[in-house]
Structure 1
Amino acid sequence: MLPVLLIAGPALAATGAAAGEEAALSLLWGIPFAGMLLSIALMPLLAGHLWHHHYGKIAAGWALLFLVPFAALHGPDAAWHEFTHVLVGEYLPFITLLLALYTAGGGVLLRGTLVGTPGVNTALLAAGTLLASIMGTTGASMVLIRPLLRANAGRRRKMHSFIFFIFLVSNIGGSLTPLGDPPLYLGFLQGVSFFWPTEHMFSEFLFCAILLLAVYWLMDTWLYAREQREIVEEAAEEAAEHDHVADSDHEPLGIAGWINVGLLALVVAGVLMQGIWLPGEVALLGQPIGLERIAAMLLFLLITAASVLWTPAGIRETNGFTWGAILEVAKLFAAIFLTMAPVLAMLKAGLEGPLGGLVAMTTDPNGQPIPEVYFWLTGALSSFLDNAPTYLVFFNLAGGDATHLMGDGALTLAAISCGAVFMGANSYIGNAPNFMVKAIVEEQGERMPSFFGYCGWALVFLVPTFILVTLLFF
């Protein structure tokens, strides 16, 4: 495969090659990314022991399959430039924010006994869906996934609850502010006003949330009727007492770990600061980066350290907190971001690039944008490429002028935003919290569907929902 890639033509414009060479990219440069996706999808099924013990090495192998041919074709300096471009411009801001949310969220403990009835489960999902736009999909997922696990400890049929949790709390719930989901955060940094998503995506958000919560409640009610309710109640009470979140059967709900609630508020402040304070750029590893980005990353690392130092050990132990889930996300998404770079460059090449056929679909014969196509193309690619950089590609494809897109182009921007946020739920890798929730649930000994199995759930429940969104709003 190496010789094939070496003759595959020019690679990324970020290397310093002429911008026009983007159009000469070969689809063969997408092989490492395709291999990475197939490894995540198939290896847990076909070689589970190998994958679970060596997924980091496998991910690194696919990353090297891109970097080594790249270095051979363009030189080590160009390969280093591309590596640092992804590291500084995309990966470090992404992973430091995620780490702060993961650590602080894992230090918030919901006390009291919850029994996994349809009403309680639906209420937990609804609360998480609302919280996600305030504390981020990662923060809301971290706070509520373990109470959901405890509440359903005695249920035999519960996988659907964790899947709908990913649909709603880890994705669709983050639709209303830049704090909610990384694509909207990138839009905020590009000049989209803070409350623009709240004003222009609320109807789409509300429709999806109500419809999916109603479907979930009907499904959970049907499945709960086949459970032994006494066992479900006893198991939930035992789980609460075992985890020391309840001292009696009737202890009211409450929160422990308030210091982490304050730290989550600091994360919010760090996100907001990057859209308000713009002191200029500096160089980091040879790459230009805004001082506000560096300040935010340092703040997020300090928040992580503060959470580790100031959170009582008993709270994390009760929450079943481990570093395994964030380590898995960090390793896999490092390779995903790197191998994804040539695929994004192909999209950025526009009509002249190897994916020009897709780009041409976004405008009508008069050159006007087609919102429903933007919705589905952004969404489809967000399902398998990370939804944040995919949003940015289509944001720029639509003109990249935030003032215009918030005004005359509002429907197009709403379509791009909804596609990126909503359809990040279509696969485990569409949005980082998806993989994190999967890892946490499996760490607790519960089953989750395979990569393709999860996509099947999305095909049955999410795709029809998004078709209705298209018909009603775009």
Structure 2
Amino acid sequence: MTFVKVISLALAASTFSLAPAFAADGLDGAGMSVWWALPFLGLLLSIATGPLFYPHVWEHHYGKFSAFWAACVIVPLVLIAGATNASHAVAHTVLLEYVPFILLLTALFVTAGGIFVQGNLHGTPATNTALLAIGAGMASVVGTTGASIIMIRPLLRANDDRVYRVHTVVFFIFLVSNVGGSLTPLGDPPLFVGFLKGVDFFWTTTHLALPMLLVGGIVLAVFVVFDTVLYRREAAMRHPKDPTPDEPLRLHGLINIPLLGVIIGAILLSASWKPGVSVTILGATLELQTIVRDVIFIVVAIASLWLTDKESRTANGFNWHPIQEVALLFAGIFVCIVPVIAMLQAGRNGAFAPLVALVTNADGAPNNLAYFWLTGILSSFLDNAPTYLVFFELAGGDAKQLMGPLATTLGAISAGAVFMGANSYIGNAPNFMVYAIARQGGVAMPSFFGYTLWSSAILLPTFVLCGWLFYR
């Protein structure tokens, strides 16, 4: 018996002591132990701690971390339930959710990475406010990652002669890398996960518009006060010489703008075109409209790479590492979450019954404020896409019900996941990317805990008001 098999049997016998049953449509979560959630928790904690506490190891081995935790789900499933049942359970999530999820992110990453804003502005409070507002508006169209890639360098160039610059990047993360992406499934990964689960494309636009305007408006207003006070204070100080020559703004890579329109069109097409044609792979039914949509994502990414000049991508600092990391880590996340979703679907009959009780009022109705804060707090320190998915399933997992009678509940989950991803560097993927770019640009960014002090002072009071107005 090989060492790997010995370890696998030990895991199956000790950690995963309760064998799962299989219903006709997959895992029966009512018969599963809470220990099946450990790989999911282990992977999320690895993602949270790796870049901060052991960055060198993490940078070179994050794919192995992801593979290890995924194996802690797959191997016991195979040993206990058989290869066929295990492959069907995993394939359903991977083919129907992970593949379209990562293809959309890749298409947005490639197209946005080909758009380069050349030129130099002067970082006055008015200019900085306009840049943040434009970036936040872009985030729901090109995604928070795309908007962050496009807008962070113009913001840094505009302020490279300012004495006080840290606050501009911190507020950029708040608004562009998070809050601004709340209006469409393109904006932030949690919302696209919801779209894949059946939430209408424009549902988030209509139901999160007012919360987004409230949170975004307050945060932007606080920034104006901050930046104005610091700008006036700098007037009596000696400024460093502006290292960027004055030149008018120019937009390069314009071909990517219609390509972004093609991505949006592909998503809308998949939601409205129902030809009734499908193919089944490992028990997962792939409908023709989703296959066509995903193929369009691939074609758009290839077209962007082919049609965009290399100079624009080089100036943007474009490389494949960010999307590669997301792809490998989310492959593990989507596998590890399979048993978690099954247990959540079991509701009060499953291992997560105490969590169900926590978000349920005495009369059986959902406690929307609890959904808002629990989703948000976990999204602050774990990745917000799987956190959204956990609470989506906890609320019943039926998109029609959640868009209808439970619309406030879905709104609370969506707002909590998107907004509170800004509470820490690890709440949303673009946060740490912006942090790294700013540090490379000479900005003395706050530490992990320093940043959380910023977010606690500015964002938490805003979220208290948002929750009280919309989700109590």
TM band (smaller chain): 0.7 to 0.9
* Structure 1 unaligned regions, length at least 5: 239-248
Measured in 1, the distance between the counterparts of 2:269 and 2:238 equals 50
Q: TM-score, normalised by structure 2?
A: 0.85
Measured in 2, the distance between the counterparts of 1:377 and 1:11 equals 29
Measured in 1, the distance between the counterparts of 2:337 and 2:427 equals 12
Which of 261, 264, 280 matches 2:260? 264
Determine the structure 2 residue equivalent to 1:245: none
Q: Do the aligned partners of residues 352 and 301 (structure 1) sit closer, same or farther apart at CA in structure 2, a change above 3 Å counting?
A: same
Measured in 2, the distance between the counterparts of 1:429 and 1:68 equals 29
Moved more, 283-292 or 385-394: 385-394
Which of 321, 326, 350 matches 1:324? 321
Q: Is this contact kept in 2: 1:115–1:232, CA < 8 A?
A: no
Tell me the amino acid that sits aligned with residue 50 of structure 1: V
Q: Is this contact kept in 2: 1:179–1:271, CA < 8 A?
A: no
The alpha carbon displacement at 1:103 in A equals: 0.7
Q: Do the aligned partners of residues 207 and 42 (structure 1) sit closer, same or farther apart at CA in structure 2, a change above 3 Å counting?
A: same
Secondary structure at the residue paired with 1:339?
Answer: helix
Determine the structure 2 residue equivalent to 1:246: none
Measured in 1, the distance between the counterparts of 2:279 and 2:86 equals 21
Q: Is this contact kept in 1: 2:180–2:212, CA < 8 A?
A: yes
Determine the structure 2 residue equivalent to 1:307: 304
Alignment of 1:235-384 (within 5 A): 235=243, 237-238=244-245, 249=246, 251-280=247-276, 281-384=278-381
Q: Is this contact kept in 2: 1:154–1:233, CA < 8 A?
A: yes
Tell me the amino acid that sits aligned with residue 259 of structure 1: I
1:424 is the counterpart of 2:421: yes
Measured in 2, the distance between the counterparts of 1:33 and 1:464 equals 31
CA displacement, residues 174-196 of structure 1 (integer Å, 9 cap, x when unaligned):
22233323443444455544443
Determine the structure 2 residue equivalent to 1:241: none
CA displacement, residues 272-323 of structure 1 (integer Å, 9 cap, x when unaligned):
1121112333224542222222211111111111111110111111112111
Secondary structure at the residue paired with 1:234?
Answer: coil
Determine the structure 1 residue equivalent to 2:106: 99
Which of 53, 64, 70 matches 2:60? 53
Secondary structure at the residue paired with 2:184?
Answer: coil
Q: Do the aligned partners of residues 398 and 53 (structure 1) sit closer, same or farther apart at CA in structure 2, a change above 3 Å counting?
A: closer
The alpha carbon displacement at 1:337 in A equals: 2.5
Q: Do the aligned partners of residues 83 and 162 (structure 1) sit closer, same or farther apart at CA in structure 2, a change above 3 Å counting?
A: farther
Instruction: Provide the aligned length of Structure 1 versus Structure 2.
Output: 461
Tell me the amino acid that sits aligned with residue 207 of structure 2: H
Q: Do the aligned partners of residues 6 and 296 (structure 1) sit closer, same or farther apart at CA in structure 2, a change above 3 Å counting?
A: farther
Measured in 2, the distance between the counterparts of 1:151 and 1:100 equals 29
Measured in 1, the distance between the counterparts of 2:72 and 2:362 equals 40
Measured in 2, the distance between the counterparts of 1:223 and 1:26 equals 55
Q: Percent identity?
A: 51
Measured in 1, the distance between the counterparts of 2:197 and 2:333 equals 23
Give the CA RMSD over aligned residues: 3.2
Secondary structure at the residue paired with 1:365?
Answer: coil
Measured in 1, the distance between the counterparts of 2:444 and 2:290 equals 38
Moved more, 98-107 or 23-32: 23-32
Which of 26, 39, 45 matches 2:46? 39
Determine the structure 1 residue equivalent to 2:4: none
Q: Do the aligned partners of residues 190 and 32 (structure 1) sit closer, same or farther apart at CA in structure 2, a change above 3 Å counting?
A: closer
Q: TM-score, normalised by structure 1?
A: 0.85
Alignment of 1:198-217 (within 5 A): 198-217=205-224
* Structure 2 unaligned regions, length at least 5: 1-6
Moved more, 92-101 or 165-174: 165-174
